[in-house]
Amino acid sequence: MSKGITQKSQDYNKWYTDVISKAELADHGPVKGTMVIRPYGFAIWELVRDEFDKKFKETGHSNAYFPLFIPKSFLAKEADHVKGFAKECAIVTHSRLMSDEDNSIKVDPASKLEEEIIVRPTSETVIWHMYKKWINSYRDLPILINQWANVVRWEMRTRLFLRTSEFLWQEGHTAHSSEKEAREETLKILNIYESVSKNHLGIPVLTGKKSESEKFAGAVDTYCIEAMMGDKRALQTGTSHYLGQNFSKAFDVKFQTENNNEEYVYASSWGVSTRLIGAIIMVHGDDKGLRLPPSIAPTQVVIVPFFKNDDELNTIKNYINSYLENLSTVGVRFLFDDRDKLSPGFKFNEWELKGVPLRIEIGSKEIDSDELTLFRRDLNEKSSVSADSLVDYIRNTLNDIQSNLFNQADKFKQEHTFSADSYEEFKTLINGGGFVRCGWDGTESTEKQIKDDTKATIRCIPFDEAPSKKKCILTGEKAKHEAIFAKAY
């Protein structure tokens, strides 16, 4: 199956779409820009989602659900917010269809809505409308709510998982009695995003603050995690926003303090999406297809038997069943691929394409020797292991694969992260791909000029910045920040 995949070095974009198609992760929907997530792709998303959900609940957050439809007037209440999303909004103007004389379907003009409805691009406005009803006193705070939902942003240029008109995500929306608490919440979530990305997805990320021009519409400050893809471009994989009192003022959400004063609520919002699936593909994938970290692999171990008839298959099953029961007991997700119409070679290619971390090969030779052949997808290497030590070996090897995939990605990121001291050096490095750390004078005009010249944007201002040692890469003036630039998806 992997023979149909374009090599990464030949055409990276085609390789990416080939992997999604051949590994049966997703397909294009009938409406331009939409995406159908196929069962295998959704199984990966569930494992990603469940880990984030667990971390949110461990830190006191609860899940809720808010409407898909938002009155247009709600968006008008927060000027920066509506400005940021105005060009991406899908709008409902009528409520029903009708048949004409030719029995064709058309919009019933009599069903025009008094107020147009926006299909949510994000839920701040409808949530803060509800928070006004729920918050009266400091005793009602904090509110720590997360929502797993779909959102619609009418994108003109789309790419499966990375940018689609509709996608799945989580969006957290919290309300607090103080700026300090809201800011702590914002960074707490950023730390969760960083931890899950590294330890669960095997993706090393940069963390830092967005520039004013790159921050979320309506936020005071936006913080982000940024990952480097296999083509050395950046991908924003999660954001956490300190909203200050912007939305509470727009929706008049006040609370009575312990001193019986009235004050506007402080807020945060934050989200990650199915874009993470695209990151997993591009960070870990190779010319054979996916390479999945075991923690997010729907099948962690696939067993491929060699058999010619039912008797041989039953002999293999009887031999290995006790080992499989032990694997199940220790929580390993496995699949015994006994499809009889497909050759072992076809199955090898299929499961390598789908990124299964570990493969066990078993036939009469393995039974006779009491040694099984194992294939590691991260290294594309085979080894032999005695049947008696199989379960412990698998558990240890899965842990090693998880670490190895992260280390490979981290090594790649470090090898393609550079520092520049002159604009000519900066442009050369940016054109070659990767992250470039350099001084920035903090002005939007400089940021825009660099973007116009090179198509590179500020991915983040890292927490460990050292601007005092830098001059602005473009103007030569004293740097206000040390920023990380890259070309991005």
Q: What percent of the chain has pLDDT over 90?
A: 94
pLDDT at residue number 3 = 62
User: Which tens digit of pLDDT belongs to each residue from 274-332?
Assistant: 999 999 999 999 999 999 999 999 999 999 999 999 999 999 999 999 999 999 999 99
pLDDT confidence tier of residue 19, bands split at 50, 70 and 90 = very high
Residue 229 in contact with residue 487, Cβ under 8 Å?
no
Q: What is the pLDDT of residues 152-211, one digit of tens each?
A: 999 888 999 999 999 999 999 999 999 999 999 999 999 999 999 999 999 999 999 999
Q: Which of 237, 203, 224 is nearest to 412 (CA)?
A: 203
Q: What integer best gives the mean pLDDT of the chain?
A: 96
Q: What is the sign, positive or negative, of the torsion defined by CA atoms of 313, 314, 316, 317?
A: positive
The owner of tokens 């010249």 is 453
What percent of the chain clears pLDDT 70, i.e. is strictly above it?
Answer: 99
Structure-token pair, residue 116: 């147009």
CA atoms within 13 A on the CB side of 1: 23
What was the pLDDT predicted at 83?
A: 82
pLDDT of residue 65: 98
Q: What is the mean pLDDT of residues 1-22?
A: 90
Q: Distance between the two ends of the chain, CA-based, in angstroms?
A: 28
- Which contiguous run of DSSP H or E holds residue 394? helix 390-415
Q: pLDDT per residue over 411-425, tens digit each?
A: 999 999 999 999 999
- Over residues 403-410, the mean pLDDT reads 98
Give me the mean pLDDT over the 428-439 stretch. Answer: 98
pLDDT band at 365 (very low <50, low <70, confident <90, very high): very high
Per-residue pLDDT, 1: 45
Asked if 210 and 78 count as a contact pair (C-beta separation under 8 A), the reply is: no
Q: Extract the tokens encoding 133.
A: 């009803």
Q: Which domains are present in the chain?
A: 2-284 (3.30.930.10), 301-397 (3.40.50.800), 417-486 (3.30.110.30)
